[in-house]
Amino acid sequence: MSFSFIGAAHAAGAPAQGGMFPPFDASTFASQLFWLAVTFGLLYVLMSRVALPRIGGIIADRRAKIESDLRDAAAAQKAAEDAAKAFEAGLSQAKANAQGIAQSAREAASKQADTRRHAVEADLAAKLAVAETAIVEMKGKAMANVAAIAEDAAAAIVERLSGAAPAAADVAKAITASAKK
Amino acid sequence: MAAGTGPVIDPIHQFEVHPIVPLNIGGLDLSFTNASLFMVIVLGVALLLMLGGTAGRSLIPGRLQSMAEMLYEFIEDTCQSTMGSHGRKFLPLVFSLFLFVLLSNLIGLIPGTFTVTSHIIVTFALAAVVILTVIIYGIAKHGTHFFGLFVPSGVPKPLLLLIVPIEVISFVSRPISLSMRLFANMLAGHIALKVFAGFLLMLSAAGGWFALAPLPLAMIVALTALEFLVAGLQAFVFAVLTCIYLNDALHPGH
Reduced to 3 states, what is the DSSP secondary structure of residue B7?
Answer: coil
A-B interface: how many C-beta pairs under 8 angstroms? 137
Distance CA B56, CA B60 (A): 10
pLDDT at position B49: 94
Q: What is the ipTM of this complex?
A: 0.89
pLDDT at position B75: 95
Tens of pLDDT, residues B66-125 = 999 999 999 999 999 999 888 889 999 999 999 999 999 999 999 889 999 999 999 999
Work out the pLDDT band at B254, boundaries 50, 70, 90. low
Reduced to 3 states, what is the DSSP secondary structure of residue B115?
Answer: coil
pLDDT at position A162: 83
Tens of pLDDT, residues A131-156 = 999 999 999 888 888 878 888 888 88
Taking residues B146-171, report their average pLDDT: 87
Residues from chain A that touch B58, judged by Cβ atoms under 8 A, are 58
Tens of pLDDT, residues A70-104 = 999 999 999 999 999 999 999 999 999 999 999 99
Say yes or no to pLDDT of B3 above 60.
no
Torsion of the alpha carbons at B179, B182, B187 and B192, rounded to the nearest 10: 150
Backbone angles phi, psi at B28, to 5 degrees: -95, 135
Domain ranges of chain A: 4-180
Residues from chain B that touch A28, judged by Cβ atoms under 8 A, are 17, 29, 33, 35, 119, 121
pLDDT at position A33: 94
Indicate which of B29, B107, B124 best probes the interface with A, i.e. most A CBs within 10 Å of its own CB: B29
Taking residues B226-239, report their average pLDDT: 96
- Distance, CA of A107 to chain centre: 25
Tens of pLDDT, residues A22-75 = 888 888 899 999 999 999 999 999 999 999 999 999 999 999 999 999 999 999
Tens of pLDDT, residues B30-62 = 999 999 999 999 999 999 999 999 998 888 888
Q: What is the mean pLDDT of chain B?
A: 90
Distance CA A51, CA B91 (A): 12
pLDDT at position A150: 83
Q: What CA–CA distances, in Å, run from A69 to A61, A62, A136, B159?
A: 12, 10, 98, 61
Tens of pLDDT, residues B200-209 = 888 888 777 7
pLDDT at position A6: 34
Work out the pLDDT band at A15, boundaries 50, 70, 90. very low
Q: Kindly report the CA angle at B96 between B92 and B97, in degrees rounded to 5?
A: 120
Cβ of residue B176 closer than 8 Å to a chain A Cβ: no
User: Does the beta-carbon distance from A40 to B50 stay under 8 Å?
Assistant: no
